[in-house]
């Protein structure tokens, strides 16, 4: 089941990001701050945090937000599926859910940034499998030798 995050999910989002290898356990400030800001008002500004869960636990999370100064352009900040549940279609189902929710709100584009390093080859392949196209690459974005790859998917014909 995919549902909106609640304040009780904040630590779960961080735990999923750590389990999925997005951050080391001692560097969770990014997700901690993101979730604190989300419940402090960003959800009222259109940000969406969705939790994928079964009867026992949260298995995945996706976080999207509208891009300022654009018309209908959104950005996926995070998608993470617990490693025990990767490769089962949960990530693709969560992406489809996010895309459909955004389409219902009139979104035109969904953008995704990820790393161009070999460690992220599986992540980039996932986005391609979900119908995203590589739109741009910024060399040495994260650090020397770590490019940022921008993926794009049109959510409407407009």
24-81 pLDDT tens trace: 888 888 888 889 999 998 888 899 999 999 888 889 999 999 999 999 999 999 999 9
Q: Tell me the average pLDDT across 95-121.
A: 95
* Number of domains the chain contains: 1
Residue-range definition of the domain harbouring residue 134: 2-154
Is 38 in contact with 5 (CB distance < 8 Å)? yes
The predicted model scores a pTM of 0.91
CATH code: domain of residue 80: 3.40.630.30
- pLDDT tens figures, 90-102: 999 999 999 999 9
């Amino acid at each position: 089941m995919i549902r909106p995050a609640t304040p009780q999910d904040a630590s779960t989002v961080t735990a999923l990001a750590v389990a999925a290898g997005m951050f080391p356990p001692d560097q969770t400030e990014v997700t901690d701050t993101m979730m604190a800001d989300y419940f402090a008002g960003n959800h009222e500004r259109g940000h969406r945090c969705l939790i994928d869960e079964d009867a026992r636990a949260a298995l995945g999370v996706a976080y999207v937000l509208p891009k300022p100064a654009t018309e209908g352009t959104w950005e996926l900040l995070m998608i993470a599926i617990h490693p025990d549940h990767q490769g089962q279609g949960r990530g693709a189902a969560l992406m489809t859910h996010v895309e459909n929710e955004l389409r219902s709100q009139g979104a035109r584009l969904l953008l995704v940034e990820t790393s161009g390093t070999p460690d992220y080859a599986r992540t980039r392949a996932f986005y391609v499998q979900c119908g995203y196209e590589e739109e741009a690459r910024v060399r040495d974005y994260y650090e020397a030798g770590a490019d940022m790859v921008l993926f794009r998917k049109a959510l409407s014909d407009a």
